[in-house]
Amino acid sequence: MARPYSSLEPRVRAILRVPASVEHMPAPISVIVAGVSGSGKSTVGRAAAALAGVPFIDGDDLHPDENIALMFAGTALTDADREPWLDAVAAAARDHAPCVVACSALARRYRDRLRDGGPSIQIVILDVRAEELRRRLESRTGHFMRATMLDSQLLAREHPEDEPGVTVVDGTQSVETLARTVAALLGRAVD
């Protein structure tokens, strides 16, 4: 788990030769770009990671085969289906920090689980109206998530209320604008 350098035991700091100037630096953060299917998580996440010069991880790639088969068949995932996937996403965000990760993170309990598994996580939710999401999904090809499952995601979606580490942005802004917002959360200066 990523921790501030100051939390390391003195013996470990000495072995690692951690300079005094970085001893109190916080652990590097990762940003999860969240939203329902079709909101642009992967597109924005990829652009933000490239802009910030950090790795990009697509949470879709971390789904167990069973989950992909369920979604491909049009079956919504249960919380039990999501748990190992959310744990894998949190581990990837933690272990590859700083990085950008695309993950739906639809409900607060999912976002809490991500933060519990990788405490140095910020979440940016791309908010897009249902009509636009449907249009995007109907024009998308080659993805296991079907437009017919959008309604189940919209029902599962919970807007954050006083939720720490979560920023909601208008997901219809340009990819460049959204990428700059995400990169800025990583503390990366972008022109």
pLDDT (0 to 100) of residue 82? 87
Q: Which helix (H) or strand (E) holds 168?
A: strand 166-170
Q: Is 102 part of a structural domain of the chain?
A: yes
Total domains present in the chain: 1
Q: Is 127 part of a structural domain of the chain?
A: yes
Q: What is the pLDDT tens value at each position of the chain, 191 positions in all?
A: 344 434 444 443 344 344 444 444 455 689 999 998 888 999 999 999 999 999 999 998 998 889 888 877 778 788 899 899 999 999 999 999 999 999 999 899 999 999 998 778 999 999 999 888 888 787 666 554 555 567 777 787 898 988 989 999 999 999 999 999 999 998 865 66
- Tell me how far apart the alpha carbons of residues 89 and 1 are, in angstroms, rounded to a whole number: 13
- Tell me how far apart the alpha carbons of residues 63 and 65 are, in angstroms, rounded to a whole number: 6
- The one-letter amino acid at 163: E
- The one-letter amino acid at 43: T
Q: Is 15 part of a structural domain of the chain?
A: no
Model confidence, pTM: 0.78
Q: What is the CATH classification number for the domain harbouring 129?
A: 3.40.50.300
Range of the domain at 134: 28-185
Q: Is 22 part of a structural domain of the chain?
A: no
- Tell me how far apart the alpha carbons of residues 51 and 184 are, in angstroms, rounded to a whole number: 10
Q: Is 66 part of a structural domain of the chain?
A: yes
- Tell me how far apart the alpha carbons of residues 141 and 163 are, in angstroms, rounded to a whole number: 34
Q: Which distant-in-sequence residues (6+ apart) come within 8 Å of 145 by Cβ?
A: 37, 38, 60, 71, 137
Q: Is 75 part of a structural domain of the chain?
A: yes
pLDDT (0 to 100) of residue 26? 57
pLDDT (0 to 100) of residue 15? 40
Q: Is 5 part of a structural domain of the chain?
A: no
Q: Is 14 part of a structural domain of the chain?
A: no
